[in-house]
């Protein structure tokens, strides 16, 4: 269920040549969480964004990484994963917010989203030490003993989490980027920049309007960018978008394709025809996690779930000949 940044979301800021521009757009970007971030701010012509604003954003991202990255040996999550006891482990407020949201989505999706898949991610070679491999049946059975979101217990005052199984470990890569997007968006609003777009590795949050005073416009492309055909333009304001796909991070052994998206219930990579899911939600945190959960479910269960829970989605489904078709409920 680990995710990498997807490039299928292309940010397009459409402006009318005949409209007098009364605002400026300022962009800045950087590297974070194994990918890149991009921020667009809409400000009055007389305004200037000081270097300190970018420095503040970078500091926030460093702090989030220090809490939630399994690639950092002394991060909060790495320390928790090494902690082989079942008593309470104190965590930060941000960490608790992410864990609490993850557990809520796990319950709602009946375990399709599950942060305890960390041992599975490592077993298949998609973790910090990338070494793609097909585990034996016995290895998979042993690891699955320690998988299950119910094995993580939380309390809010003071914020702390604990394991019911000392060998359980967690992975937040399918929700942390979305949280980081939300965190930066809130930070910009507090600074008075209420018209902005924040993107980290394909996860997006929009606030207010673009330079033309209109909704931000985003295009969802097909998983295969070389194939012409259906695409969706979204016009968003104060909404978030996240995409999860199985076509960027995978390996092939003996002619069989193994996706990095793992099913927490079977321990195996997903093997259905659903190639990508884009989710529209109020928060990028929720959109990020739901996108992964729906990709795990597969085409028909994802459609049913989205309709039942009133979640707006756009899906690309892989046909037998390798082409793609799409389905969405965005306009309903």
Confidence class for position 129, pLDDT limits 50, 70, 90: low
115 or 10: which carries more pLDDT confidence?
115
Q: Is the pLDDT of residue 261 over 90?
A: no
pLDDT at position 230 is: 52
CA-to-CA distance for 289 and 308, rounded, in angstroms? 17
Give yes or no for residue 17 having a pLDDT over 60: no
Instruction: Kindly compute the dihedral angle of the four CA atoms of residues 327, 108, 163, 146, in this order, to the nearest 10 degrees.
Output: -50
Rounded to 5°, the CA angle 58-64-68 comes to 145
Among 292, 280, 283, 267, residue whose Cα is nearest residue 173: 292
Position 227 pLDDT exceeds 60: no
More confident of the two residues 81 and 272: 81
* pLDDT exceeds cutoff 50 at 19: no
Q: 283: which 2 tokens? A: 């928060």
Average model confidence (pLDDT) across the chain: 88
Report the pLDDT value the prediction gives residue 98, as an integer from 0 to 100: 98
Q: What is the pLDDT of residue 303?
A: 97
Confidence of residue 327 (pLDDT cuts 50, 70, 90): very high
Pairwise CA distance, residues 204 & 178, whole Å: 8
- Which stretches of 80-195 are assigned E, i.e. beta strand? 89-90, 152-156, 159-163
57 pLDDT exceeds 90? yes
Q: Which residues of 33-43 are buried (b: 16+ CB within 10 A; e: fewer)?
A: bebebebbbbb
Residue 10 clears pLDDT 70, i.e. is over it? no
Tell me if residue 166 falls in helix, strand or coil.
Answer: coil
Q: Which residue has the higher pLDDT, 120 or 223?
A: 120
Q: What pTM value is reported for the model?
A: 0.90
Query: Cα(213)–Cα(42) distance, rounded to whole angstroms?
Result: 9
* CA gap 161, 13 in Å, rounded: 42
Radius of gyration of the chain (CA): 20
% of the chain with per-residue pLDDT over 70: 87
Q: What is the pLDDT of residue 11?
A: 42
Contact by Cβ (8 Å): 285, 279: no
Mean pLDDT for 7-16 is 41
Domain boundaries, the chain: 1-332
Overall average pLDDT of the 25-38 stretch: 93
Least confident stretch, 184-198, 218-232, 239-253, 289-303: 218-232
Percent of the chain with pLDDT over 90: 69
- Going by pLDDT thresholds of 50, 70 and 90, the confidence category of residue 133 is confident
**pLDDT the model gives residue 242:** 96
CATH topology of domain 1-332: T-fold (3.10.520)
Backbone angles phi, psi at 50, to 5 degrees: -75, 160
For every residue of 221-271, which 3-state class applies, written as one string? CCCCCCCCCCCEEEEECCCEEEEEECCCCEEEECCEEEECCECCCCCCECC
């Amino acid at each position: 269920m680990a995710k990498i940044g997807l490039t299928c979301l292309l940010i397009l800021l459409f402006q009318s040549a005949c409209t007098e521009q009364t605002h400026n757009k300022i962009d800045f970007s950087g590297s974070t969480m194994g990918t890149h971030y991009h921020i667009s701010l809409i400000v009055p012509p007389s305004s200037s964004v000081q270097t300190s604003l970018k420095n503040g954003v970078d500091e926030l991202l460093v702090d989030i990484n220090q809490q939630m990255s399994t690639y950092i040996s002394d991060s909060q999550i790495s320390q928790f994963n090494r902690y082989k006891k079942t008593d309470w482990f104190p965590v930060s407020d941000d960490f608790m917010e992410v864990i609490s949201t993850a557990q809520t989505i796990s319950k709602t999706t009946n375990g399709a989203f599950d942060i305890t898949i960390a041992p599975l991610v490592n077993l298949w070679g998609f973790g910090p030490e990338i070494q793609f491999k097909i585990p034996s049946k016995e290895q998979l059975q042993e690891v699955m003993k320690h998988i299950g979101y119910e094995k993580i217990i939380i309390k809010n005052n003071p914020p702390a989490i604990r394991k019911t199984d000392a060998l359980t470990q967690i992975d937040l890569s399918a929700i942390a980027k979305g949280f980081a997007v939300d965190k930066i968006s809130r930070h910009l609003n507090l600074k008075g920049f209420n018209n902005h777009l924040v993107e980290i590795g394909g996860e997006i949050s929009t606030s207010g309007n673009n330079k033309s005073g209109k909704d931000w416009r985003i295009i969802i492309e097909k998983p295969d960018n070389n194939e012409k055909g259906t695409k969706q333009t979204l016009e968003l304001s104060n909404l978030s978008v996240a995409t999860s796909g199985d076509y960027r991070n995978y390996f092939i052994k003996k002619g069989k394709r193994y996706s990095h998206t793992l099913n927490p219930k079977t321990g195996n990579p997903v093997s259905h025809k659903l190639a990508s899911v884009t989710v529209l939600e109020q928060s990028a945190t929720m959109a990020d996690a739901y996108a992964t959960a729906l990709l795990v479910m597969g085409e028909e269960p994802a459609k049913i779930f989205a309709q039942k829970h009133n979640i707006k989605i756009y899906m690309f489904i892989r046909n037998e000949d390798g082409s793609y078709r799409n389905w969405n409920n965005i306009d309903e």
